[in-house]
């Protein structure tokens, strides 16, 4: 019989989720260098027991085993579904079958999704809204509406007596290592990377959530991915900054080069920006990691794109990077473009349209024929100085999103 390791968060709260050490991609677009975890928490009051979120369906068997080790699974009273995405709710059918008394607790939108995705019957659902409470006997769960973090139905669950916030995707980090924040040295970087890829598009909703949490007594944050925060203030502070769109004197330079001409322009620009005191983050798109790029976009004030012309437009990797910018909507204000073509341009025109669409003001652009020569070097140096000036002048004020 398997004896599971089940970390204890407090007297009545246990971490019963799963670690997916081998997974290397999420949603077929998010690289996972350290795998991920699907966190699920069992809250055992004196009278009732509740499971907060489940796990990816592939890990349902282990979840059932861990719950059974602590408490008779068939006696489970509630399953709280903070989020309907299958990495958290995919094992719901297995849990609801093994726990025939259990009632699913979800937001109104969540309940609809539970029915659509997981065939949960109406008579096994309890719909909750902001401020509703569930008494487990000595332990009380309350619910906080947190839409779009990261789907429209998402909510948080708060264990009042212990000050534990179960936040699902919000405050998450993709890693399969560690139990709490003190175990993982690279957690701040992993959390930023996660924020950039998953939550940056919902920055406005995230800001509201952070403000909503400000007055609460939060002693522990128990997210849906990655370690539990026993020292929540650090990640709360980081989220205050990231959701506000506060940027630094920093430029992301994302580029791709086929015959080194664009790369040569990028080198000159990067060195000049650095000499102007700008923090430059270079990403060669042919080899870079999309998670690292997303993390750098969280607080960069400028985005420089470098691309040769391919078939009259941007190189596919540059186009992909700009699509990512369009999708995750980083707070950067300024843009610049560098590129080279063999016999006919077009990349600059394509980039200009995408920059405008992303709300980036073009500080300068250079599209040259063939490898750079003396005048090109002078032009790119001038462009770098102009961009550095814009970056410094625009200060660290936040850029609001257009989201409602
Ligand atoms: Fe971790 Fe939106 O699911």
CA of 16 to the centre of ligand 1 (A): 17
Reply yes or no on whether the pLDDT at 403 is more than 50.
no
pLDDT band at 396 (very low <50, low <70, confident <90, very high): low
Instruction: Extract the tokens encoding 89.
Output: 């709710």
Length of the chain (residues): 404
Tell how strand 36-38 and strand 155-159 pair up.
Answer: unpaired
Q: How far is CA 69 from the centre of its chain?
A: 32
Residue 399 confidence (pLDDT)? 62
Instruction: From the CA of 225, give the closest atom in ligand 1.
Output: 1
Q: What is the pLDDT of residues 241-278, one digit of tens each?
A: 999 999 999 999 999 999 999 999 999 999 999 999 99
Mean per-residue pLDDT over the chain, rounded: 96
pLDDT in tens, 68-104: 999 999 999 999 999 999 999 999 999 999 999 999 9
If DSSP codes are grouped into helix, strand and coil, which group holds residue 357? helix
Q: Is the pLDDT of residue 225 over 70?
A: yes
HEC string of 147-179 equals CCCCCCCCEEEEECCCCEEEEECCCCCCCCCCC
Domain locations in the chain?
Answer: 8-243, 252-392
Q: For ligand 1, say whether the CB of 56 is within 6 Å of any of its atoms.
A: no
Q: What pLDDT digit, counting tens, does each position of 147-181 carry?
A: 999 999 999 999 999 999 999 999 999 999 999 99
Residue range 319-356, pLDDT digits in tens: 999 999 999 999 999 999 999 999 999 999 999 999 99
How far is Cα 89 from Cα 300, in angstroms, rounded to an integer?
A: 34
150 lines ligand 1 (CB under 6 A): yes
Percent of the chain with pLDDT over 70: 98
What number does CATH give the domain 252-392? Answer: 3.40.50.360
What is the Cα 48 distance to its own chain's centre? 33
Distance of alpha carbon 365 from alpha carbon 335, whole angstroms: 9
- Integer Cα distance of 322 and 328 in angstroms: 10
Instruction: Give yes or no on whether 8-243 and 252-392 have one common fold.
Output: no
Average pLDDT over residues 380-394: 97
Q: In this structure, which long-range contacts are made by residues 65-73, counting pairs with CB atoms below 8 Å and at least 24 apart in sequence?
A: 65/2, 65/4, 66/4, 66/6, 66/14, 66/16, 66/42, 67/16, 67/42, 67/95, 69/3, 69/4, 69/6, 70/6, 70/14, 70/16, 70/42, 70/44, 71/42, 71/44, 73/98, 73/99
Topology of domain 8-243, CATH: Metallo-beta-lactamase; Chain A (3.60.15)
Ligand 1: centre distance to CA 174 (Å):
10
- CB 207 near ligand 1, within 6 Å: no
What number of other Cβ atoms are within 10 A of residue 236's Cβ?
Answer: 17
DSSP characters over 286-324: TT--HHHHHHHHTSEEEEEEE--EETTEE-HHHHHHHHH
Q: Residue 206's pLDDT band (boundaries 50, 70, 90)?
A: very high
Quote the pLDDT of residue 30: 87
- What is the per-residue pLDDT for 354? 96
pTM: 0.95
Q: Residue 17: CB within 6 Å of ligand 1?
A: no
Q: Is 169 in the pocket of ligand 1 (CB under 6 A)?
A: yes
By alpha-carbon position, which residue is closest to atom 1 of ligand 1? Answer: 169
CA-proximal residue: ligand 1, atom 3 (nearest): 85
pLDDT tens profile 20-45 = 999 999 888 889 999 999 999 999 99
């Amino acid at each position: 019989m398997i004896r599971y390791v089940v970390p204890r968060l407090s007297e009545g709260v246990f971490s019963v989720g799963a670690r997916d050490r081998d997974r290397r991609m999420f949603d077929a677009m998010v690289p996972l260098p350290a795998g991920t975890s699907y966190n699920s928490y069992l809250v055992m009051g004196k009278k009732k027991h509740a499971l907060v979120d489940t796990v990816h369906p592939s890990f349902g068997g282990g979840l059932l085993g861990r719950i059974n080790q602590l408490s008779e699974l068939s006696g489970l009273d509630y399953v709280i579904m903070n989020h309907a995405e299958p990495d958290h709710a995919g094992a719901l059918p297995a849990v609801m079958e093994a726990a025939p008394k259990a009632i699913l607790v979800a937001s109104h939108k969540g309940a609809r999704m539970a029915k659509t995705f997981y065939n949960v019957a109406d008579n096994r659902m309890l719909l909750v809204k902001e401020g509703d409470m569930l008494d487990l006997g000595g332990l009380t769960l309350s619910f906080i509406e947190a839409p779009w973090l990261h789907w429209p139905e998402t909510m948080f669950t708060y264990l009042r007596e212990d000050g534990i916030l179960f936040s699902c995707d919000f405050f998450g980090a993709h890693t399969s290592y560690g139990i709490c924040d003190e175990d993982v040295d690279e957690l701040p970087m992993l959390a930023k990377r996660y924020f950039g890829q998953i939550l940056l598009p919902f920055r406005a909703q995230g800001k509201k959530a952070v403000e909503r949490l400000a007055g609460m007594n939060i002693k522990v944050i128990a997210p849906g991915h990655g370690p539990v925060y026993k020292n929540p203030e650090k990640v709360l502070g980081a989220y205050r900054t990231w959701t506000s769109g506060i940027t630094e004197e920093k430029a992301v330079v994302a580029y791709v080069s086929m015959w080194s001409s664009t790369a040569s322009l990028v080198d000159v620009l990067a060195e000049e920006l650095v000499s102007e005191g700008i923090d430059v983050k270079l990403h060669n798109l042919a080899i870079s990691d999309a998670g690292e790029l997303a993390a750098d976009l969280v607080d960069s004030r400028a985005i420089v794109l470098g691309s040769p012309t391919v078939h009259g437009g941007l190189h596919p990797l540059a186009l992909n990077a700009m699509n990512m910018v369009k999708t995750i909507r980083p707070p950067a204000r300024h843009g610049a473009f560098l590129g080279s073509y063999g016999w006919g341009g077009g990349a600059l025109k394509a980039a200009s349209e995408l920059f405008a669409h992303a709300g980036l003001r073009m500080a300068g652009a250079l599209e040259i024929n063939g490898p750079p020569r003396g005048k090109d070097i002078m032009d790119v140096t001038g462009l770098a100085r102009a961009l550095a000036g814009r970056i410094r002048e625009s200060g660290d004020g936040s850029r609001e999103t257009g989201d409602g």
